[in-house]
Amino acid sequence: MEVPLSAPDITESEIAAVTDVLRSPQLSLGPKLAEFERAVADYTNTPYAVAVNSGTSGLHLCVRALGFKEGDEVIVPSFTFIAAANAIMYERATPVFVDISPDSLNLDPEQVEAAITPRTRAIMAVHTFGRPAPMREILSIAEMHRLVVIEDACEAIGAEYVGRKVGSFGRAGVFAFYPNKQITTGEGGIVVTHDESLAIHIRSLRNQGRSAGGDWFDHAALGYNYRLPEMSCALGIAQLKRLETILEQREAVAQAYQHLLAGCSDIVLPSPNIADGRISWFVYVVQLRDGFTQADRDWIVTELRERGIGCGRYFAPIHLQPSYRDLLKYNRPNLPQTERIAARTLALPFFNKISEKQIEFVCEELIRLLARRRDKCGQMKHPT
């Protein structure tokens, strides 16, 4: 049985929406862009939204528009997708990696506060795997030290914290719509903000630095081609209309995994709930128990893939990536929780339309492989 790690959920209504755009005379910077931006702004209860061609682009434009530069420090987790740190590096600012809380896998507020220096300009709070970060504590720290907060909500559209959608707390929030996300535009992302001047600046930067209403060949700033095509916007509009149903489907998949894996003592399951909030399930990630090693996890990944089961090691810490190791070789951060947890995380197949039989197959094979590995390790450690 083949079970992919992820799969987009595209219906005939979304195909029709994209086809309608292809029959129109405008494929970029048209009415669907404005409609998509308005829909996301309304959904997140923010007055402004600026669609871009990826979540990475959205994060970069936030860093750029907020004026971070060489010598400025931005606090960010290492246990996240590398785009968060790359967006900081693009502007020659310095990502300061901070450890995570083992229960939520989000930034540990105590570690955030301890990392602040006179050069700190911002905190980039990531809502890891769609689980809201502790925004109350992060915003309190930011206010005390006069720091900007950027929300990397690329994995978390629909997640809620104390009655508000994530992405709406900081100076800006960024969502992403890659095909493995809750909803997709193919490639794409969007920035939401309460700051009109910031929205205007980001809107200019995404379109080669052009000003609204200006001539096509007049460029007020150094900008980028980070535009999102009309076809992608049409797809996003149609997907957003189904978001609540999609979130419910994904929560049901998570619950199915929780039920089938509850009796397995070899793994730690993600908490299915969050106080004062709602998880938007992006992936389903388990952790191998203490006693298992990274080599054990990697062996299980290989064995699952040989059985046709897609899986992944979410996340490989950024500070240990080849592209960052040399940069940090004289100042490697001390992130014990990040390194301990990342060595044993395993993302299981997770998408809207995964079947019960597929989930059962994945769980059966995982439990069987964990038992094999445990028995083998036990024999090696305690030979008879």
Express each pLDDT in 109-129 by its tens digit: 999 999 999 999 999 999 999
> Looking at the structure, do residues 193 and 320 belong to the same domain, yes or no?
no
SS3 (DSSP) at 251: helix
Whole-angstrom Cα distance, residue 30 to residue 189? 17
pTM assigned to the model: 0.95
Phi first, then psi: what are they for 347, rounded to 5°?
-90, 125
Among 238, 277, 24, which Cα is nearest to 131's?
A: 277
Average model confidence (pLDDT) across the chain: 95
Tell me, what DSSP letter sits at residue 195? -
164 and 258 fall within a common domain: no
Scored b (16 or more CB within 10 A) or e, 280-289 reads bbbbbbbbbe
Closest CA to 172 of 188, 155, 150, 204: 150
Q: Cα–Cα distance between 267 and 345 in angstroms, integer?
A: 9
pLDDT tens digit sequence for 41-89: 999 999 999 999 999 999 999 999 999 999 999 999 999 999 999 999 9
Angle between helices 294-306 and 356-381 (to 10 degrees): 140
Residues 204, 264, single domain; the answer is no
* Same domain for 288 and 270: yes
So what's the pLDDT on residue 268? 97
Which of 121-135, 200-214, 245-259 is predicted with the least confidence, judged by mean pLDDT? 200-214
Pairwise CA distance, residues 95 & 363, whole Å = 38
Verify that 221 and 255 share a domain, yes or no: no
Q: What mean pLDDT is predicted for residues 191-216?
A: 95
Single residue among 223, 241, 259 that ends a domain in this structure: 241
Give just the sign of the alpha carbon dihedral 136, 140, 143, 147: negative
Confirm whether 32 is a catalytic residue.
no
Task: Verify that 230 and 336 share a domain, yes or no.
Answer: no
**What pLDDT is stored for residue 376 in this prediction?**
74
Number of domains in the chain: 2
* Residue 251, domain extent: 243-381
Find, among 289, 260, 266, the residue nearest to 363 by Cα. Answer: 260
Residue from 32, 69, 181, 376 carrying the catalytic annotation: 181
Give the helix/strand (H/E) hosting 152: strand 148-152
| Residues 106 and 128 sit within 8 Å (Cβ to Cβ) | yes
Note whether 129 and 105 are same-domain residues. Answer: yes
My answer on whether 189 and 301 are in the same domain is no
On the question of pLDDT at 285 being above 90, the answer is yes
pLDDT tens-digit series, residues 310-344: 999 999 999 999 999 888 876 889 999 999 999 99
